Amino acid sequence: MPLFNSPELSFDAVVIGAGALGLCAAAELRRRGRRVAVIDLGGVNASAVAGGMIAPAMECAIDDLSPEAAEVLRRARDLWPAFAEATGVRLYGELAEWRGGDVAALAGRMKALGFQHQYDAASARLTTHEDAKVDPPQAMAALAQGLMVIEARALRVAPDGQGWRVETTTGAVRADHLILATGADLALEGLPLEARAAVACITPIRGQIGLVKEKLVDHVVRGQGAYVAPMGEGSVIGATMEPGERSVTPDVARCEAMLASAWKVLDQMPRPLSIDWRAGGRGATPDGLPMAGQVVPGLHVALGPRRNGWLLGPLVGAVVADATEGRPVVEPTLHPSRFL
């Protein structure tokens, strides 16, 4: 990714934050021929500490989502094949499975929401081919290809004529449009009241995962307290949801409990594994769906996808890109005005 060392540059759009929502928005803007830069300090963010699930069927059943919310997740999933092909993200269209627990209730929710599934009461297993996944490291690298990435911390913003000026630890940039994809971070200095109010709606949620070099499964397997999924040549064990937690230091006790749940889900005896435990800070809105769109002229948000950042990325990116072009709101369910 290119480094930034000029005192000031100007762009059509600047995205603050290089998580799934920020990179998807930046990639979509670039696809539309816009000059776009991404400001991010670097390091491991919440979108890297993730399983990369593109899983509307399982997520809707697990969280007992409304039909309206399920349709949003379904529409987001349907954007992924074309988006992946255009950006070079590797998309897996694979079997997803739930084992144990109240499988009948999950199957009933999938049926009510119209998701294809197979339910085997005898084995207490529920499967679907509606879901998919990406590998976050590969996806983030693909989305960043061709982008100007400013490896710096954004310090403050201010209106600048018809656009916005962003001061960073390596200089300043100007843009006609500014997109906040800052996850669960606190509000930047200089943001207008409307943007500060949007950021204040976000609840931080810590998520923890474990990366394993060993291939434990060949498709996503979920159950009570854990999931196990393919990740590159190995596997990922996940994931906690800890509202109000901002620490990105793994919690040993929670990780051990998640590992114990993973062995139960796999119906295997525990054995020694070399696990790289990681923690990241997600952000969530009060209704669990992200905020995407303009809050004041030229200033847009892409915030709060809860644990569905990868699933919702292309949809949020399209909504934000449309907003920068003055197009009608095609996904009003996500507009920040519902909280402001």
- Asked, for residue 296, whether it belongs to a domain, the answer is yes
In this prediction, residue 1 carries a pLDDT of 43
What are the tens digits of pLDDT across the range 188-203? 999 999 999 999 999 9
User: What average pLDDT does range 36-51 have in this prediction?
Assistant: 94
- Asked, for residue 235, whether it belongs to a domain, the answer is no
| Average pLDDT of the chain, as a whole number | 95
Q: How far is it, in rounded angstroms, from Cα 182 to Cα 200?
A: 12
Structure tokens that stand for 12 in this block: 């059509």
State what percent of residues in the chain have pLDDT above 70: 98
CATH code of residue 2:
3.50.50.60
Q: How far is it, in rounded angstroms, from Cα 172 to Cα 167?
A: 4
User: What average pLDDT does range 15-30 have in this prediction?
Assistant: 98
The structural domain count of the chain equals 1
- Whether cis (ω within 30° of 0) applies to the bond prior to 239 is yes
Q: How far is it, in rounded angstroms, from Cα 97 to Cα 119?
A: 10
Would you say residue 6 has pLDDT above 80?
Answer: no
The continuous run of DSSP H or E covering 136 comes out as helix 136-144
- Asked, for residue 172, whether it belongs to a domain, the answer is yes
Q: How far is it, in rounded angstroms, from Cα 279 to Cα 277?
A: 7
Structure tokens that stand for 81 in this block: 């094949």
The conformation of residue 146, written as its DSSP 8-state character, comes to: T
Would you say residue 332 has pLDDT above 60?
Answer: yes
- Asked, for residue 26, whether it belongs to a domain, the answer is yes
- Asked, for residue 294, whether it belongs to a domain, the answer is yes
Residue in 224, 35, 264 with CA at minimum distance from that of residue 148 = 35
What are the tens digits of pLDDT across the range 289-327? 999 999 999 999 999 999 999 999 999 999 999 999 999
Structure tokens that stand for 212 in this block: 């394993």
Residue type, 330: V
Structure tokens that stand for 287 in this block: 């209704």
Would you say residue 246 has pLDDT above 70?
Answer: yes
In this prediction, residue 2 carries a pLDDT of 42
- Asked, for residue 31, whether it belongs to a domain, the answer is yes
- Asked, for residue 45, whether it belongs to a domain, the answer is yes
**Structural domain that includes position 194:** 1-52+135-202+286-340
Would you say residue 163 has pLDDT above 80?
Answer: yes
- Asked, for residue 92, whether it belongs to a domain, the answer is no
Q: At what angle do helices 20-31 and 136-144 cross, to 10 degrees?
A: 40
